Amino acid sequence: MWQAKLCRERIQELQKSEAATGDDLIKIEDEAGTKLKVSGIQSIHAVSRAAASTIWDAKLFGHLASLTKRFSKEYPKNWAAGDHWHASMTKVVKERIERHDNREPFNDLFEGMVAERKAEVPEVSLKDQIAEVEQMNRVVPWHSIKVLPYLRACVDEALRLAPPVATDLMRVTPPEGHTVDGTRVPGNTNVSISVYSARRDPSVFPNPETFLPERWLVKGTDHMKDMLAAYIPFSAGSGGCIGRNVSSLLMLVSVATLVHNYDYTLLSPEWAIQLEEWFNLWPLELLLMISPKRGLANKTSTEALLV
Residue pair 257/140 in contact by the 8 Å Cβ criterion: yes
Binding site as annotated, residues: 241
What is the DSSP-derived secondary structure letter of residue 41? H
Is 270 exposed, middle or buried (CB count within 10 Å of its CB: 0-12, 13-18, 19+)?
A: exposed
Closest among 52, 56, 49, 35 to 81, alpha carbons compared: 49
Q: Which one-letter amino acid corresponds to residue 234?
A: F
Residue pair 176/189 in contact by the 8 Å Cβ criterion: no
Residue 9 to residue 275: CA distance in whole angstroms:
22
Residue 18 to residue 9: CA distance in whole angstroms:
8
Binding site as annotated, residues for heme: 241
The overall longest dimension of the chain from CA atoms, in Å, is: 65
Residue pair 269/241 in contact by the 8 Å Cβ criterion: no
Q: At what angle do helices 149-161 and 244-261 cross, to 10 degrees?
A: 110
CA 275, 277, 281, 282 dihedral sign is negative
